[in-house]
Amino acid sequence: MTRVLRSLAFFALVVALWEAASRAGWWSPVLVPAPLAIGEYLVSALKDGSLFSAGWVTMKRLLLGYIIGLAAGIPLGLLTARFRFAADTLGVLALGLQTLPSVCWVPLALLWFGQTESAMLFIVIMGTLWAVLLATDHGIRQIPPIYRRAASTMGSSGLHLLWHVLLPASLPHLVSGMKQGWAFAWRSLMAAEIYVTVLTGFGLGHLLHYGRELQAMDQVAAIMLVILIVGFAADKLLFSPWEAFLRRRWGLA
Amino acid sequence: MTIQDELGVSSTAKLNIRGVSKLYRGARQTVSALEDINLQVEDGEFVCLLGASGCGKSTLLSLIAGLEKPTEGSLLADGKSIEGPGRQRMVMFQEHALFPWLDVMGNVLFGLNLKSGLTQDDRRELAMFYLKLVGLEKFSQANVHELSGGMKQRVALARALAPNPQVLLMDEPFAALDAMTREQLYADLQNIQQKRRKTVIFVTHNVREAVCLGDRVVLFTPRPGRIRAEYRVDLPRPRDINDVAVAQLARTITDELKTLTASA
């Protein structure tokens, strides 16, 4: 509890100093908006619903792309861990593409899919898929062979072995891979939304982009704050329960 | 199968190992891990396989478990050829091999869940019965990492006994434990063997341990792994590893082991 208070006090102090510096005229409000101006924008954007609808559009893209990335990445990772042929082909491809920031896919995605949701989805999937695939592959490979031996003497094989032994045994790696996939997806989606105008939906990245066009730095900073909070909340809501489970059950720090 | 059957008489099996050899073919050389092994194990007998590391005794255990196949010869359990791993022959490893994603109860239930004809309540009751047998009924909700080394091996023993196998295969299960814990487990294991008799194959490189636990001690020599001698241990039970009689027989076997390795 004292640690939470300490963090809160720190942020309150930063915001207070920032507001004071803005009022003292240390810098132009055009370059660095004051916290109160940011707050005012947020309140108005919440009231007229633009923030909520943009957030919803962004979350839909993110979750859909992320879930597709997981649904494809985990089985493909199992494949590359199990079959040498898959490891030498798909595995190498994954390793290569994982090093490519997925915003690099934007020009091609636009060419292939046009200014559509599909282009956005493609970019998010490219951000998620490879990280999840590689984490699954790695997670399966590092399972101590003795787990498999022990399980097979107890009569476990095939799908039972996969579901009750191999997947749970690779859970620590799987969770960190899913987390990395989420972070990549989030970053690529923001880059794509700032970069590309899609007519079917107006996301947080677009809101930020138009703030820039309008020279409204309070809007830009406010959206940055929202993006940061969404990322933080997702981390806490999606991954904290898993990590708490790993800590408790495995005794992992 | 009902829970009464499960808790009734503990089942055992005869093992019949005939002319078994095992070669490991590597890229550079072929290693003969076992050569012409012949061994008869009676129902409910406790046999210790004794030998230095690399003498093939663990390989023989894997063959009996069905985890590997012999290059030559045949292995029979109650007259039936061993074709693969199965719940009739459970293995306990040197490393506990408990699953860290399950709690203690979940680990003991793992093999039971794969056994048909039981209700979930039956399975929990059986798991609890075996946890009591190893003295860990209070720890059914504990996580594996919270247990001491000795407790982990007790859970591993409960997990191996729970599906009521005919044969228990133990691969140096106490080698990684401290001496005090180990001595306690010798007593417990003899006590459990009294209550739930199994055919046991126990691999060890510790001569006294073999004499303390075994009805029979089978001596292996390495490269290639061969059976060189057998000793029947007729000392009364329960035996204590610090007993003079145990120490004396261990001494005789150790001397013989030395001459065998010197001449090899």
pLDDT tier at B260 (50, 70, 90 boundaries)? confident
Check if the beta carbon of residue B56 is closer than 8 Å to that of residue B34.
Answer: yes
Distance in angstroms (rounded) separating the CA atoms of residues A111 and A223: 28
Note down pLDDT in tens along chain A; length 253 residues.
Answer: 889 999 999 999 999 999 999 888 888 888 888 899 999 999 999 999 999 999 999 999 999 999 999 999 999 999 999 999 999 999 999 999 988 888 889 889 989 998 889 999 999 999 999 999 999 999 999 999 999 999 999 999 999 999 999 999 999 999 999 999 999 999 989 988 888 877 778 899 988 988 888 888 899 999 999 999 988 898 889 899 999 999 999 887 5
Q: Quick one: average pLDDT of B24-37?
A: 87
C-alpha atoms less than 13 angstroms from C-alpha of B107 in its C-beta half-sphere = 32
Cis peptide before B238 (omega within 30 of 0): yes
What residue of A is the nearest CA neighbor of B95? A146
**What pLDDT is recorded for position B16?**
92
**What pLDDT is recorded for position B196?**
85
Q: Quick one: average pLDDT of B91-106?
A: 94
Q: Which residues contact B217 (CB under 8 A, 6 or more apart)?
A: B47, B48, B50, B210, B211, B230, B231, B233, B253
Q: Quick one: average pLDDT of B167-191?
A: 91
**What pLDDT is recorded for position A253?**
58
Q: Quick one: average pLDDT of B199-207?
A: 94
Strand partners, B48: B202, B217
pLDDT tier at B54 (50, 70, 90 boundaries)? confident
B103 lies within 8 A of chain A by CB: yes
- B87–A154: do the CB atoms touch at under 8 Å? yes
CA angle, A88 then A91 then A93, to 5°:
100
Q: Is pLDDT above 70 for B39?
A: yes
**What pLDDT is recorded for position B263?**
63
Q: Which residues contact B145 (CB under 8 A, 6 or more apart)?
A: A249, A250, A251, B100
Q: Is pLDDT above 70 for B264?
A: no
Q: Is pLDDT above 90 for B216?
A: yes
- B101–A150: do the CB atoms touch at under 8 Å? no
Distance in angstroms (rounded) separating the CA atoms of residues B88 and B100: 24
Total H helices, total E strands in chain A: 14, 0
pLDDT tier at B121 (50, 70, 90 boundaries)? very high
User: The tokens of B244 are what?
Assistant: 């003079």
**What pLDDT is recorded for position B29?**
85
- Which residue type occupies B102? L
Most distant pair of Cα atoms in chain A: their distance: 75
What tens digit of pLDDT does each residue of B137-171 get? 999 999 999 999 999 999 999 999 999 999 999 99
C-alpha atoms less than 13 angstroms from C-alpha of B227 in its C-beta half-sphere = 19
**What pLDDT is recorded for position B56?**
86
**What pLDDT is recorded for position A197?**
78
What tens digit of pLDDT does each residue of A133-182 get? 999 999 999 999 999 999 999 999 999 999 999 999 999 999 999 999 99
Q: Which residues contact B158 (CB under 8 A, 6 or more apart)?
A: B108, B127, B130, B131, B133, B134, B136
φ, ψ at B167 (rounded to 5°)? -125, 135
Distance in angstroms (rounded) separating the CA atoms of residues A247 and B122: 31
Q: Which of A146, A154, A249 sits opposite B100 (nearest CB)?
A: A249
Q: How far off is chain B from A240, nearest CA to CA, in Å?
A: 17
Element (H, E) at A217: helix A217-234
Q: Where are the beta strands (DSSP E) in chain B?
A: 15-25, 30-41, 46-50, 72-77, 80-81, 89-92, 167-171, 199-204, 216-221, 226-232
The reported pTM is 0.85
Q: How far off is chain B from A55, nearest CA to CA, in Å?
A: 36
Q: Which of A144, A147, A154 sits opposite B111 (nearest CB)?
A: A154
Q: Which of A153, A156, A250 sits opposite B90 (nearest CB)?
A: A153
**Chain-wide mean pLDDT for chain B?**
90
